Amino acid sequence: MTSPNSWRALLNAELAPRFALLCLGIWLNAADTLVTVTIMPSVAREIGGYQYFGWSVAAFLLGSILAGACAGKLSIRFGLRNATALAGVFYVLGCAMGALAPEFLTFVAGRLVQGLGAGAIVSLCYVAITALFPERLWPRVYGAVAGVWGAATLLGPLCGGLFAQAGFWRGAFWLFVVQGVIFVGAVLVMVPAAPRALEGGRIPRRQLALLTVGVSLIAAAGVIGGQLVPALCAALGVVAMAAMLLVNGRSDNRLLPKAAGDLTTATGLGLLVIFACEAAAIGFTVYGPAFIQALHGASPLLSGYVIGGVAAGWTACSFAVAGLGPGREGLAIRLGAAVIVVGVAWGAFEMAHGSLVGVALSMITLGAGFGICWAFLAKRVIGAAPTDEQALASAAVPTTQLIGGAAGSAAAGALANLLGFAHGVDATVGHAHGFWLFAAFTPLALAGLAAAWRLGRD
């Protein structure tokens, strides 16, 4: 007799197609980062745009934030089926823009559109779990979603690397165009016209506008000539992001919990750790493959897997610490943040002056730091929030990670141009200035460690 909450129950004739559709939707987002970073050096060699390197990641993450904040509202207004299909159309359009891009700014615009689609798809897939599957199977479905993210760690660099080595990086985007079209068609066929949808409030427009302005100004600092104006852009970008926190705390319609900017609270401290550590580490994702190929002579496929070591270390350590008791959660938070600092500093040295093996080990170490502390960070952020804000605090964990990634990508791009990488990464300039491109974010990681140290108090 089949258990009502077994894997076999999930894979019956009625639910199996829905399950496959859900996994495809998660895959479209999960595989994107490692596929794209693997092919980025090839993209820049063909259509230029090294000075906008950081923009390609920042635009995608910014689009994901904007779409994720609006997805719940869209599912109510248009229904889950129409909203998810619309998100898929945006994703396909963004991928097609990337595949057809004649120059890098069009490519960046495509990444923004693709991020809008991907962010909405992921959010709506989580809505679909509760709408399309019986409650007894939710744990199985969530476990499968985690498995898709793990599979993307292995398959993403392989997909991007094979296309890059074949000299056809555009093919990677066309592959995802095809998958996106399949996803849209399957949504229109499989998702009921009026399923249950989660309730949602108004879209936090002011916070999203300030966040967009802040990230854009930081990114613009790297492509504007002179010294005073770029510095002013960067400073105003930081002010805009601080203003976002201020407006968020005073608004009844929030993007983040009210305590997000309050460092006297566990929620505020935890979100600072997430933001600072993600912003400090994202530069390796943006520029790591280019440095590994130029300075260490690795192929696009190998460079993708080396950077994929971050995800591998994260996954392995998250499983290793899953059984820690409540009395050791604070230790895990402190240890994880400390390992992240070590990973950032070590990775900066290895990228510019070390060996390929050293780069790989430092990336695994960096990911291990996140894996050690992440679950416990999330638990304290959510647990410390007021009861009426715990759902918002849950959503704030991935949102804050995306914000940190977007801001860090923009800042890495600006710094790279300042250090002489506006026209590409070569061995001479890489050895001379590459260390500072990555090491400059160590103080940000240390700020995350300081917040983690306070948060780790029992």
Q: Is the pLDDT of residue 241 over 70?
A: yes
Dist CA 169 CA 147 (whole Å): 26
Q: What pLDDT shows up at residue 197?
A: 45
pLDDT digits (tens, 9 = 90+) for 384-436: 888 888 778 877 888 888 899 999 999 999 999 889 898 888 889 999 999 99
Q: Which of 208, 216, 274 is nearest to 406 (CA)?
A: 216
Q: Is the pLDDT of residue 9 over 50?
A: yes
Q: Which residues neighbour 313 within 8 Å (Cβ) at sequence distance 6 or greater?
A: 363, 364, 365, 366, 367, 368, 369, 370, 371
Dist CA 88 CA 78 (whole Å): 14
Dist CA 21 CA 27 (whole Å): 10
Q: Is 394 exposed, middle or buried (0-12, 13-18, 19+ CB in 10 A)?
A: middle
CB-based contact 445:280 (threshold 8 Å):
yes
Q: Is the pLDDT of residue 6 over 70?
A: no
pTM, two decimals, is 0.87
CB-based contact 368:311 (threshold 8 Å):
no
Lowest mean pLDDT of 4-18, 172-186, 233-247, name the range. Answer: 4-18
Q: What confidence tier does 261 reach under pLDDT thresholds 50, 70, 90?
A: confident
Q: What confidence tier does 135 reach under pLDDT thresholds 50, 70, 90?
A: confident
Q: Is the pLDDT of residue 361 over 50?
A: yes
Which letter, b or e, does each residue of 320-346 get, where b requires 16 or more Cβ atoms within 10 Å of its Cβ?
ebeeeeeeebbbbbbbbbbbbbbbbbb
Lowest mean pLDDT of 13-22, 130-139, 184-193, name the range. Answer: 130-139
Q: Which two tokens stand for residue 223?
A: 């492509």
Q: What pLDDT shows up at residue 397?
A: 84
- CA-based end-to-end distance of the chain: 46
- More confidently predicted of 200 and 260: 260
Across the range 208-227, mean pLDDT stands at 85
Q: What pLDDT shows up at residue 275?
A: 96
Q: What percent of the chain has pLDDT over 70?
A: 94
Q: What pLDDT shows up at residue 186?
A: 93
The CA-atom distances, in angstroms, between 184 and each of 58, 132, 179, 282 are 26, 16, 9, 31
Dist CA 200 CA 207 (whole Å): 17
Q: What confidence tier does 13 reach under pLDDT thresholds 50, 70, 90?
A: low
pLDDT digits (tens, 9 = 90+) for 291-331: 999 999 999 999 989 998 998 898 888 888 877 777 788 99
Across the range 58-80, mean pLDDT stands at 83
Domains and their CATH numbers in the chain = 1-203 (1.20.1250.20), 204-239 (no CATH), 254-458 (1.20.1250.20)
Q: Which residues neighbour 410 within 8 Å (Cβ) at sequence distance 6 or greater?
A: 54, 55, 58, 215, 216, 218, 219, 222, 237
Q: What pLDDT shows up at residue 442?
A: 97
Q: What pLDDT shows up at residue 393?
A: 84
Q: What pLDDT shows up at residue 1?
A: 45
Q: Is the pLDDT of residue 379 over 80?
A: yes
Q: What pLDDT shows up at residue 198?
A: 47
Q: Which of 370, 386, 366 is nearest to 378 (CA)?
A: 370
Q: Which two tokens stand for residue 400?
A: 């804050």
Dist CA 260 CA 305 (whole Å): 35
Q: Is the pLDDT of residue 443 over 50?
A: yes
Q: Which two tokens stand for residue 174?
A: 């066309």
Lowest mean pLDDT of 83-97, 184-198, 231-245, name the range. Answer: 184-198
Dist CA 396 CA 257 (whole Å): 7
- More confidently predicted of 267 and 194: 267
Q: Is the pLDDT of residue 31 over 80?
A: yes
CA torsion angle 358 339 304 441 (round to 10) = -100
Handedness of CA 397, 399, 405, 411 (dihedral sign): negative
